[in-house]
Amino acid sequence: MQLIESARKITRRLLWTWKPGSEKEAGDAVVKNLLLHWFPNRTSLGSLSWGYSFWLGTMAFVLFLVLVLTGIILMFLYVPSVERAYGSIKDLEFVVSFGWLMRGAHRIAAHLMVAVVFLHMVRVFLTGAYKNGSSVGANRPLNWIVGLGLLVLTLLLSFTGYLLPWDQLAYWAITVGTNIASAAPLVGKGMRFILLGGNEIGQNTLIRFYVLHVFFLPMVLLFLFAYHMWRIRKDGGLAVTDHEALDQRLEETAPVRTKTYSLLGITGSGSVHVQNRMVDEERNSVASVPHLTRRIWLVTIVTVVAVIGLTLLVRAPLEAPADPSVTPNPAKAPWYFLWLQEIVTISTVRLGQLTINGALIGGIVLPAVLFILALWWPFRDRSGLHTVGIWFARERRTQNLVFLCICVLIVAFTIVGTFFRGPYWTFYWPWEAWPSIPVKF
């Protein structure tokens, strides 16, 4: 007890300049605390609800933290050299104390992050949360675009990550990935050359993907994430807040009380926050400390426990060392790229003499079209204010359905790729046995 009390005192001395004595002062304290300053003073009940956001964004960030922490340890133990990479991963798996746990947790957190970031995007779309509500100075479409950037970064980080063990999965993923890049018109060949650092997959390639994975991409992601968070605050909080404000306008409200708490220490009177923060009224909101921070802790703990639990259940695989002469049969990408693998398989187009490689259509054109459509959609969506921050708004039914159809198609392709494809990428039922095919010539 004594220890906890003194630990608390030390934290306070390091992070807080001053101890809150009342509700008002507690609000001020949020502003003055290093760790809490990015939270609002009060949080609306809608934003705190489990069922509105499912806290997917928070989860994604916790997973990122797990990835950074385990990743730093892995960096001490991994050697990015063609000769030694595979051996160092094998050592991690079988020799290093808890190496399997570090690598396993890193891998599981990465898989979960892809899933969670994707679901987060689905949630934002279905709740119309990329739309500006009544908040002044909001620019949610921009934050949707930033979010799409974060999704792409997450996928790139996953891709560059599973190349590093330099096993068969890695080698053939680089082969296929860089050949998709080279299918791009005009710049394709040059892009492949720069990505590989030559014409062949080798040391240049490994070190390039390594630096991208451990430094460049995480840095970009961190900056974009910070901007993503900052925008949420400037956009007036989660979109559901706008919805709550809309409901309140319909009520006969008492005269707005004078705000007594500090607004981040940045406002004079009549700031954006004061104008539309009806939901900040005490009956609709609670103090961020402890109500918001408590839920964030809970989400953090559940996420970390899920990562560790899954790591104990699922051992991270390591395929045979990279072998340019033999492609695994079938050679499957990780699940989140299987829909693309499925599509590049079926999208080669033949028009008389002209043949367009599926690598270009399925690997570049189709994903690019989907991405551009997603970028543009907030500007196309002209549904009313009442559709902001609410699940399955009636006015947005058609677009929600179309969006869900695309998601279902992607998931369906992923399932087909995962469970229904065998040697030579032919169709097999999941319960059907695959024929045995000699590995070598």
Partner 1 sequence: MKSSTVHVPAPQAGSAGAASASRRAFLQKIGLASLLTGLAGFGLQSLRSLIPNVLYESPQKFKIGLPSLLADGVTFLEGRRLYVVKEGKSFHAISGACTHLGCTVKYTKLQQPKQVDINGEKKQITAEFHCPCHGSKFYDDGTNYAGPAPTPLHWYKLSVAPDDGQLIVDLGDEVERNFRLTV
Rg (CA), the chain: 25
Q: Which of 148, 304, 326, 365 contacts partner 1 by CB under 8 A?
A: 326
DSSP 8-class letter at 215 = I
The amino acid present at 124, given as its one-letter code, is: V
Binding piece for partner 1, criterion CB under 8 A, among 127-135, 175-183, 215-223, 366-374? 175-183
Q: Which one-letter DSSP state was computed for residue 421?
A: B
Least distance CB 193 / partner 1 (angstroms): 7
Cβ 337 to partner 1 shortest distance, Å: 12
Residue 425 makes contact with partner 1 by CB under 8 A = yes
160 belongs to the binding site for partner 1 (CB under 8 A): no
Q: Give the residue among 161, 164, 56, 150 at the shortest CA–CA distance from 106.
A: 161
CA 110 to CA 333: how far, in whole Å? 15
Q: Is 418 in the site for partner 1 (CB under 8 A)?
A: no
User: Tokens standing for 221?
Assistant: 């992601």
Adjacent-strand bridge partners of 287: 42
**Separation between Cα atoms, residue 186 and residue 313, nearest integer Å:** 46
- CA distances, 133 to each of 303, 308, 344 (Å): 31, 39, 40
Which 3-42 residues touch partner 1, going by CB under 8 A?
A: none
Contact 45, 283 (CB under 8 A): no
> Least distance (Å) from partner 1 to the CB of residue 359?
6
Binder of partner 1 out of 97, 199, 258, 436 (CB under 8 A): 199
For partner 1, the closer of residues 20 and 197 by Cβ is 197
Q: Which residues pair with 285 in a beta bridge?
A: 44
- What is the SS3 assignment for 44? strand
How far is CA 150 from its chain centroid?
A: 6
Q: Of these, 155, 180, 206, 390, which contacts partner 1 (CB under 8 A)?
A: 180
271 touching partner 1, by CB under 8 A = no
Is the separation of the CB atoms in 239 and 139 below 8 Å?
no
Candidate list 134, 345, 383, 418; residue touching partner 1; CB under 8 A: 345
Rounded least distance, CB 370 to partner 1, Å:
19
Q: Out of 11, 98, 187, 198, point to the residue binding partner 1 (CB under 8 A).
A: 198
Burial of 14 (0-12, 13-18, 19+ CB in 10 A): exposed
Secondary structure of residue 393 in the 3-state scheme: coil
Query: Which region, left, alpha or beta, applies to residue 202 given φ > 0 means left and ψ of -120 to 50 means alpha?
Result: beta
- Please tell me whether residue 287 adopts helix, strand or coil conformation: strand
Size of the site for partner 1 (CB under 8 A): 40
- Asked if 424 interacts with partner 1 (CB under 8 A), we say yes
Which lies closer to partner 1 via its Cβ, residue 59 or residue 333?
333
Complex with partner 1: residue 112 or 181, whichever CB lies closer: 181
- Spatial CA neighbour of 342 closest among 419, 280, 286, 276: 419
DSSP helix/strand/coil, 321? strand
Q: Is 324 in the site for partner 1 (CB under 8 A)?
A: yes
Stretch that binds partner 1, among 19-27, 59-67, 138-146, 342-350 (CB under 8 A): 342-350
179 interacts with partner 1 by CB under 8 A: yes
Is 426 a binding residue for partner 1 by CB under 8 A? The answer is yes
User: Among the candidate windows 22-30, 90-98, 255-263, 346-354, which touches partner 1 by CB under 8 A?
Assistant: 346-354
For residue 340, what are its two tokens? 């693309």
- Among residue numbers 356 through 415, which ones bind partner 1 (CB under 8 A)? 356-359, 363
Q: Is 245 exposed, middle or buried (0-12, 13-18, 19+ CB in 10 A)?
A: buried
Integer Cα distance of 201 and 67 in angstroms = 27
> In this chain, which stretch among 112-120, 123-131, 190-198, 404-412 interacts with partner 1, using CB under 8 A?
190-198
Part of the chain binding partner 1 (CB under 8 A), chosen from 136-144, 294-302, 391-399, 422-430: 422-430
Residue 356, helix vs strand vs coil: strand
CB of 30 to partner 1, least distance (A): 38
Residue 270, both tokens:
């009549």
- Which residue of 134, 293, 348, 418 would you call a contact of partner 1, by CB under 8 A? 348
Closer residue to partner 1 (CB): 57 or 188: 188
* Closer CB to partner 1, 180 or 393, in the complex: 180
Binding of partner 1 by 197 (CB under 8 A): yes
- Residues contacting residue 428 through CB under 8 Å, at least 6 positions apart: 420, 421, 422, 434
Which of 202, 309, 317, 435 touches partner 1 (CB under 8 A)?
Answer: 202
The span of 2-10, 42-50, 110-118, 319-327 binding partner 1 (CB under 8 A) equals 319-327
Site residues, partner 1 (CB under 8 A): 172, 175-176, 179-180, 193-194, 197-200, 202, 204, 208, 324-331, 341, 344-348, 355-359, 363, 423-426, 437, 441
